[in-house]
Structure 1
C-alpha cells in the first residue's frame, strides 16, 4: 500500500479497531492459479502474536484453499470509511482555485502465512465465534446450537478453517492531513452536511 508519511497509521490500537469494525474483509492470494480474492468475515485475536492472529474459513471447493495449504504469503484487506472530497469544500478554491478532487479513506492491510485446518472442534470454535460476533446485537440472537448437531457436522465437513498470524500490518488514515487547517475544516463541514451516512461517518473521524 502506498503510504505517504502524512497518512501512515502505526497505532496498533487504531488498526485493530478498524479491523474489528470491518464486517467483510478481502483475502487475497497469489499462486500458480494467479491472483484470487474472497470476501470473508473474520475474527481477530489481538493478543496472539506480535500483531494479532486472524481466524476464518473457506469452502473446501474454493481454489484459494490451495494457496493456504501451500504456505504462500497472504494479504487481507480491511476497507474502512471512505468519502469523495470535492474541491468546493476547500476555502482555497475561492482564494486561488488550485485544487482538485480527491478521496479520503481508512484502510488496513494484514500479511502473513496461514495454517489451514479441518479439525471439527477448531472449525466449530471459528464458526461459533463468528456467529456470536454478528448475532449478539440482535434482539433474538441465533446460535449454532439452535441447529441440529448432525446438520452442523455436515456443514463443517464442507469448509476449511485457517489461522493467520499477522507478520506485517499496514494502516492508512487519509483525512486531509496534508491540507491547511482551514481546508481540513472545510472538508469536515462538507462531509458532515452530506446526506450520505458514509460521508458523515468520515466527518466524525476527522474531529
Structure 2
C-alpha cells in the first residue's frame, strides 16, 4: 500500500482499535489457484505475538483453507470508513481554484503467516469468542447453548479454523492532512452535517492535531 508520510498512522493501538471495531476483513491469499479474496469476520488478540493474532473460520466447502498451506504469507485488509470529498468544500478553492475531488478513508493492512486448524475444539472455542464479542451488544445476547447441541455440533463440523500471526501492521489514515487547516476543518464539518460522522469527526480531530503542531 502506498502511504505518503502525512497519511501514515504509526500508532499501533490506533490500528488495533480499528481492527477490533471493524471486524469484517478481506483475507487476500495467493495459493495454488492464484489470487483470492474472502470477506471474513475476525477475532483479534492484540496480546499474542509481536503484532497480534487474527482468528476466524470459513466454510469447509470454501476452497481457501486447502488452497493455502500453513506458513504461507497472507494479507488481511480492514476498512473503518470512507467518504467522497468535494473541492467545493475547501475554502481555499474559492480563492485559488486549485483543488480537485478526492476520497478519504481509514484502513489497516495486517500482513502475516497463516495456520490451518481443522480441529473441532479450536473452531468451537473461536466461534464462542466471536459470538460472545458481538452478541454482547444485544439486549438479550444469543449464546451457543440456546441452540440444540446436535445442531451446533453439525455446524462446527462444517467449518475450518484459520489463524494468522500478524508480522507487519500498517495503517493509512487519509483525512486531507496535506490541505490547509481551514480546508480540513470545513470539509469535516460538512461531512458531519451530511451524516458521515466517522470521517467527519476524524477530519476535525486531524485539524485539531494540525493546529496544535502549528
Q: CA RMSD in A?
A: 1.2
- The aligned counterpart of 2:199 is 202
Contact 2:70–2:115 (8 Å) recurs in 1: no
Runs of 4+ in 1 over 6 A off after TM superposition: none
> Per-residue displacement from partner, 1:152-204 (whole Å, max 9, x unpaired)?
1111111110111100111000111101111111211221111x3xx222111
Moved more, 65-74 or 36-45: 65-74
CA-CA distance at 1:68 after TM superposition: 3.8
- Tell me the distance in 1 between the aligned counterparts of 2:66 and 2:169: 24
> Per-residue displacement from partner, 1:123-172 (whole Å, max 9, x unpaired)?
11100011111111111111011112222111111111011110011100
SS in 1 for 2:139: coil
CA-CA distance at 1:56 after TM superposition: 0.3
Written as runs of structure 1 = structure 2, the 5 A alignment for 1:175-186 is 175-186=175-186
- Mind listing any 5+ residue stretches in structure 1 that lack a counterpart? none
> Per-residue displacement from partner, 1:13-65 (whole Å, max 9, x unpaired)?
00000000113111111122111111111100000011100010011111111
- The aligned counterpart of 1:156 is 156
- TM-score norm. by structure 2 comes to 0.92
- Tell me the distance in 2 between the aligned counterparts of 1:163 and 1:70: 9
Check 1:70–1:125 CA distance in 2 against 1; reply closer, same or farther (3 A cut). Answer: closer
- Mind listing any 5+ residue stretches in structure 2 that lack a counterpart? 206-214
- The aligned counterpart of 2:116 is 116
